[in-house]
């Protein structure tokens, strides 16, 4: 008994010390905050555009309603723009917000230039379907429209992302030798920037190796396969940072020391460095290259995610009912965990190229999106906007997650009956009642998720408009001061 007591007491002290650490960062009250605000608003604008296209997508795939909208090429054009706005631009914008917060006052001009380029490229991509013929190429990770306006926009967004990543290295915020909770978050953000840099290098490598003489479908598929797999580690690391940050803000701090959290982030980053080895050993054109990249993404990220999920489960079980102000962030955190776990489990059920594939990545991507939505709610006051409050803000994550869960369950069900991905309307060839039921459930969930996504936009825009009240600005300054003292 005495020996057991000697073992338990140090463990209790470690847990108590970990709970006293604040995994929190202050938002600089400088020009950096204005740039971070700009990235957040760009992300919201991208979601607005993606939401408009998603309405057409869900209708086109839903039994009996698909005949109301054009099918075939129109569906694919809408799908390309929806995916690129809701995934690529949204994630880049949120990375821009977080990396800008985690930088010094140096290279401010570069920060503004990257933001302006990102906004210009996003606008070009959004309007491209209305500028002339646009041939949709359903390549994985970055679907493409063969349309000059779209391609120019995509290139401009890519350059903006490269400059954003570059500035995160040229003007990093300092980390202390103490390695406290704030330092742990900074390390996670810097690890995500390293993953982004490796992805950009993979993109350059693929551009060199993939011959442009290939057919468009094969060219873009091979071009984006490697960098598309690597960039997932960047988004996952951003999600892990958001989880730790949100847990602290809702009063459920991780029962882990900052050093352990840094180790988890380092493990999440470690798999990224396998990508250059794959490029060195297998040409981008080979089947082995594609298989190795798939295995890297499937198993590499889980090494960091599992311990973080377990720590969050302990933290959430220990906490009491969240305060009213923390309920939107609490809901977003829980829903993010639920959807990301669902997406990960479905990934092991994929056989072939049916709609189980989008079921997998919708779960995983929405898990990341919900974490970033919750963090956006938490940071709005620190960025000079009003606080997020009210029943709509609390219901929004549950509505969005619930709709997406129905959406992916419908896709998972239909995939078991062989319904193919990237098709809509009559092309789906739905024959049995089971297939019709599954895709009907998908359509219902998709519509509910669209409402949840639009509510996020409503909540954020309301906070932006309410910030004209001087009281909201004073609240922002007070929150920043509190965070600095706590750090």
Among 302, 293, 366, 375, CA closest to 335: 366
Based on the fold, state whether residues 131 and 200 are members of the same structural domain. no
Please tell me the distance from the alpha carbon of residue 75 to that of residue 201, in angstroms, as a whole number. Answer: 32
Look at residue 105 and give its three-state secondary structure.
Answer: coil
Residues near 68 by beta carbon (within 8 Å), at least 6 away in sequence: 59
Based on the fold, state whether residues 283 and 366 are members of the same structural domain. no
Phi, psi of 135 (to 5 degrees): -85, 115
Residue 339 lies in a domain: no
Based on the fold, state whether residues 297 and 166 are members of the same structural domain. no
Helix locations, 84-210, DSSP H: 90-101, 108-127, 148-170, 181-209
So what's the pLDDT on residue 1?
Answer: 43
Residue 402 lies in a domain: yes
Q: Where is the domain boundary, 173, 203, 232?
A: 173
Of the candidate ranges 2-16, 131-145, 221-235, 246-260, the one whose mean pLDDT is the lowest: 2-16
Based on the fold, state whether residues 149 and 183 are members of the same structural domain. no
Q: Where is the domain boundary, 140, 173, 206?
A: 173
Residue 21 lies in a domain: no
Based on the fold, state whether residues 210 and 291 are members of the same structural domain. yes
The mean pLDDT of the chain is 82
C-alpha separations of 31 from 36, 78, 108, 245 in Å: 9, 37, 8, 23
Q: Where is the domain boundary, 119, 150, 173?
A: 173
Based on the fold, state whether residues 53 and 139 are members of the same structural domain. yes
Residues near 5 by beta carbon (within 8 Å), at least 6 away in sequence: none
Q: Kindly report the CATH number assigned to the domain that includes residue 48.
A: 1.20.120
Q: Give the DSSP H/E element, type plus range, for residue 278.
A: helix 274-281
- Are 266 and 185 in contact by the 8 Å Cβ rule? The answer is no
Please tell me the distance from the alpha carbon of residue 222 to that of residue 464, in angstroms, as a whole number. Answer: 41
Task: Name the token pair of 331.
Answer: 């809901």
Of the candidate ranges 90-94, 385-389, 460-464, 478-482, the one whose mean pLDDT is the lowest: 478-482
Please tell me the distance from the alpha carbon of residue 477 to that of residue 154, in angstroms, as a whole number. Answer: 37
Residue 154 belongs to domain spanning: 27-173
Q: Residue for token digits 């919750």?
A: 374
Give the pLDDT band (50/70/90) at residue 378. Answer: very high
Based on the fold, state whether residues 109 and 188 are members of the same structural domain. no
Based on the fold, state whether residues 280 and 386 are members of the same structural domain. no
Neighbours of 431 (CB within 10 A): 11
Please tell me the distance from the alpha carbon of residue 113 to that of residue 103, in angstroms, as a whole number. Answer: 15
How large is the average pLDDT for residues 80-107? 94
- Are 250 and 333 in contact by the 8 Å Cβ rule? The answer is yes
- Are 161 and 196 in contact by the 8 Å Cβ rule? The answer is yes
Residue 223 lies in a domain: yes
Give the pLDDT band (50/70/90) at residue 325. Answer: confident
Number of domains in the chain: 3
Task: Name the token pair of 139.
Answer: 């390549």
Please tell me the distance from the alpha carbon of residue 284 to that of residue 290, in angstroms, as a whole number. Answer: 8
Among 446, 370, 481, CA closest to 55: 446
Q: Going by DSSP bridges, is the β-strand pair 144-146/135-137 parallel, antiparallel, or unpaired?
A: antiparallel
Percent of the chain with pLDDT over 90: 50
Based on the fold, state whether residues 192 and 310 are members of the same structural domain. yes
So what's the pLDDT on residue 353?
Answer: 57
Residue 1 lies in a domain: no
So what's the pLDDT on residue 77?
Answer: 85
Based on the fold, state whether residues 155 and 98 are members of the same structural domain. yes
Give me the helix-helix angle, 433-466 and 31-61, nearest 10°. Answer: 150
Checking if the pLDDT of 427 tops 60, the result is no
Bridge partners, 103 (sequence order): 172
pLDDT tens digits for range 343-360 = 777 666 665 555 566 666
Please tell me the distance from the alpha carbon of residue 408 to that of residue 356, in angstroms, as a whole number. Answer: 8
Among 413, 18, 335, 327, CA closest to 179: 18
Based on the fold, state whether residues 309 and 397 are members of the same structural domain. no
Please tell me the distance from the alpha carbon of residue 190 to that of residue 261, in angstroms, as a whole number. Answer: 14
So what's the pLDDT on residue 350?
Answer: 60
Residue 146 lies in a domain: yes
C-alpha separations of 475 from 26, 394, 404, 469 in Å: 14, 21, 34, 10
Percent of the chain with pLDDT over 70: 78
């Amino acid at each position: 008994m005495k020996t057991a007591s000697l073992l338990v007491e140090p463990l209790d002290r470690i847990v108590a010390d970990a709970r006293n650490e604040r995994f929190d960062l202050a938002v600089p009250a400088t020009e950096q905050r204005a740039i971070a605000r700009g990235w957040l608003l760009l992300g919201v604008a991208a979601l607005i555009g993606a939401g408009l296209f998603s309405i057409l997508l869900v209708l086109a795939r839903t039994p009996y309603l698909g005949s109301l909208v054009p099918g075939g090429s129109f569906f694919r054009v809408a799908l390309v723009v929806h995916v690129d706005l809701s995934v690529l631009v949204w994630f880049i914008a949120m990375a821009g917000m977080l990396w800008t917060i985690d930088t010094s006052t140096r290279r401010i001009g570069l920060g503004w230039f990257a933001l302006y380029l990102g906004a210009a490229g996003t606008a070009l991509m959004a309007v491209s379907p209305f500028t002339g013929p646009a041939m949709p190429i359903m390549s994985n990770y970055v679907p493409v429209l063969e349309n000059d306006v779209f391609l120019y926009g995509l290139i401009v967004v890519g350059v903006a992302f490269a400059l954003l990543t570059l500035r995160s290295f040229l003007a990093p915020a300092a980390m202390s030798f103490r390695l406290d909770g704030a330092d742990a978050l900074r390390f996670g953000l810097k690890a995500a920037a390293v993953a982004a840099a490796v992805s950009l290098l993979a993109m350059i490598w693929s551009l060199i190796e993939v011959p442009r003489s290939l057919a468009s479908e094969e060219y873009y598929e091979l071009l984006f396969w490697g960098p598309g797999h690597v960039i997932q580690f960047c988004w996952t690391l951003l999600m892990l940072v958001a989880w730790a940050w949100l847990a602290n803000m809702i009063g459920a701090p991780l029962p882990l020391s900052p050093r352990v959290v840094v180790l988890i982030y380092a493990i999440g980053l470690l798999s990224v460095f396998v990508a250059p080895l794959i490029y060195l050993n297998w040409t981008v054109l080979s089947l082995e290259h594609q298989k190795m990249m798939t295995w890297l993404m499937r198993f590499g990220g889980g090494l960091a995610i599992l311990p973080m999920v377990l720590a969050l489960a302990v933290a959430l079980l220990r906490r009491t009912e969240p305060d009213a102000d923390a309920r939107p962030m609490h809901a977003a955190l829980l829903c993010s965990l639920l959807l990301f776990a669902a997406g990960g489990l479905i990934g092991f059920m994929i056989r072939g190229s049916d709609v189980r594939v989008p079921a997998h990545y919708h779960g995983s991507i929405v898990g990341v999106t919900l974490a970033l939505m919750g963090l956006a709610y938490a940071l709005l006051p620190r960025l000079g906007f009003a606080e997020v409050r009210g029943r709509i803000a609390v219901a929004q994550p549950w509505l969005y997650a619930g709709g997406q869960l129905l959406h992916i369950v419908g896709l998972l069900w239909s995939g078991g009956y062989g319904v193919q991905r990237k098709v809509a309307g009559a092309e789906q060839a739905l024959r049995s009642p089971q297939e019709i039921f599954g895709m009907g459930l998908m359509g219902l969930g998709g519509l509910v998720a669209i409402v949840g996504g639009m509510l996020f936009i409503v909540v954020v825009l309301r906070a932006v408009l309410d910030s004209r009240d001087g009281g909201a600005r004073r609240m922002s300054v007070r929150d920043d001061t509190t965070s600095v003292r706590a750090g």
